């Protein structure tokens, strides 16, 4: 079984860039840990699992709380496994496992189509009540200076302060950074 160590942040060895295909999320650039560490993919369940452009959480009712997990191997290849989700994980239209069954690991590559869950349709058979998460894999591989820059840009676009932004002291900034690290989030110092 793969583990998710909550005690200390893990190093990022690869990057997964997801482009939305159906408007269910904003573009994501996610740091992927080296096996045996894994990163959980799932739906938001509380304030610690708020969907960001840099994590694996989505605001979707068709995802399980623990839907899938991703990790990278020593060559930088990115892998995914469905962890007994109800509505499935699909790569290029192929479901990775039966409902509520853990899948075998599957390597994901640039240009693949990733679908998490299925569209839930109303009784009329046409109206979609809840949308699946559908994404094109823009990049899945080793972290490089280019992908580090992409993560910084994504972070900056998400974090633009409002006009009345309150500035904080360095000690407060340190406390906030420490809290984010304890939640396995990354703070970028971008200029």
Provide the CATH number for the domain around residue 51: 2.60.200.20
Does the residue 118 lie in any domain? yes
pLDDT score recorded for residue 76? 95
Does the residue 155 lie in any domain? yes
User: pLDDT class for 161, splitting at 50, 70, 90?
Assistant: very low
Instruction: Give percent of the chain with pLDDT exceeding 70.
Output: 69
Instruction: Give percent of the chain with pLDDT exceeding 90.
Output: 65
pLDDT score recorded for residue 143? 87
Does the residue 128 lie in any domain? yes
Does the residue 135 lie in any domain? yes
pLDDT score recorded for residue 40? 96
Domain count, the chain: 1
For the chain, give the mean pLDDT: 80
Is the predicted pLDDT of residue 43 greater than 80, yes or no? Answer: yes
User: pLDDT class for 163, splitting at 50, 70, 90?
Assistant: very low
Does the residue 6 lie in any domain? no
Does the residue 5 lie in any domain? no
pLDDT score recorded for residue 148? 56
Between 165 and 4, the higher pLDDT residue = 4
User: pLDDT class for 162, splitting at 50, 70, 90?
Assistant: very low
Sign for the CA dihedral angle at 162, 163, 165, 167 comes to positive
State the CB neighbour count (10 A cutoff) for residue 10. Answer: 18
State the CB neighbour count (10 A cutoff) for residue 35. Answer: 16
Does the residue 173 lie in any domain? yes
How confident is the model over 55-91, as pLDDT tens digits? 999 999 999 999 999 999 999 999 999 999 999 999 9
Is the predicted pLDDT of residue 175 greater than 90, yes or no? Answer: no
Does the residue 105 lie in any domain? yes
Class of residue 138 by CB neighbours under 10 A (exposed 0-12, middle 13-18, buried 19+): middle
How confident is the model over 132-158, as pLDDT tens digits? 999 999 999 998 765 555 544 444 444
Q: Where do we find the tokens 């080793």?
A: 142
- Tell me how far apart the alpha carbons of residues 135 and 112 are, in angstroms, rounded to a whole number: 8
pLDDT score recorded for residue 85? 96
pLDDT score recorded for residue 188? 42
The answer to whether the predicted template modeling score (pTM) of the entire model surpasses 0.75 is: no
Domain ranges, residue 142 = 12-182
């Amino acid at each position: 079984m793969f583990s998710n160590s909550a005690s200390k942040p893990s190093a990022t060895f690869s990057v997964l860039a997801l482009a939305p295909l159906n408007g269910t999320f904003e573009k994501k650039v996610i740091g992927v840990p080296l096996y045996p560490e894994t990163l959980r993919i799932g739906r938001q369940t509380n304030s610690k699992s708020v969907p960001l452009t840099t994590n694996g959480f989505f605001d979707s009712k068709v995802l399980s709380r623990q839907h899938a997990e991703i990790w990278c191997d020593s060559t930088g290849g990115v892998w995914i496994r469905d962890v007994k989700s109800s509505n499935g994980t699909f790569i290029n239209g192929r479901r990775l496992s039966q409902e509520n069954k853990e899948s075998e690991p599957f390597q994901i590559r640039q240009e693949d189509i990733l679908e998490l869950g299925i569209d839930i349709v109303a009784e009329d058979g046409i109206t979609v009540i809840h949308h699946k998460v559908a994404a094109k894999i823009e990049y899945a591989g080793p972290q490089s200076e280019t992908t580090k820059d992409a993560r910084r840009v994504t972070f900056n676009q998400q974090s633009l302060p409002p006009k009345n932004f309150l500035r904080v002291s360095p000690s407060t900034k340190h406390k906030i950074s420490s809290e984010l690290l304890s939640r396995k989030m990354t703070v970028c110092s971008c200029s």
